[in-house]
Amino acid sequence: MYIKENNKIIAAITGKGMNKKTSKITLGTLVVDEYYRKKGYAKKLINEFENRCSNKDIHHIELGSRFRACKLYENLGYYYSIMVQVFDFSTIEDIRKANIFNLEEISSYQGDTYGFIFFKVNDIDEKYINHFESNVPTAHVQYIFEKDI
């Protein structure tokens, strides 16, 4: 879906991985032209996305978010966790060793070329991202949001 103004797309949203069996979908991309940010376009698109999902019997939405968009999802009723993902020579044991915050693990996975841990967090704070990305080689950290609609 998208919003146009003066024949220019100024905001867009995509979904991916819709699964009718589990009633889930991933919000893939949400972008708003820099000039049009903070004017309600993202909220409008998300609300319409949720309505369309609900009409298709999809009742659970999940997404990964950059830090700057976290408050938007939180304000729209999404609950959150944090995912620390590592690649190549780093492992989830490296993540565990760097967990100075004593964050509670929700789930984890370690494959041959990558691994990740989902942690429960009580707040949205850039300190988690900065810490793990600075102290664990190859780490990529993002907030994961979910909502039942």
What is the average pLDDT score of the chain?
A: 96
| pLDDT, tens digit (0-9, with 9 covering 90-100), for 41-79 | 999 999 999 999 999 999 999 999 989 999 999 999 999
The structure tokens listed for 106 are: 């929700």
DSSP per residue, 14-54: EEEEEETTTTEEEEEEEEE-GGGTTSSHHHHHHHHHHHHHH
Residue reference for tokens 């999404």: 78
Beta bridge partners of 64: 144
Sketch out the chain's domains with CATH numbers.
2-58 (no CATH), 79-148 (3.30.70)
Q: Tell me, what's the pLDDT at 39?
A: 96
Reported as type and span, the H/E element at residue 105 is strand 104-110
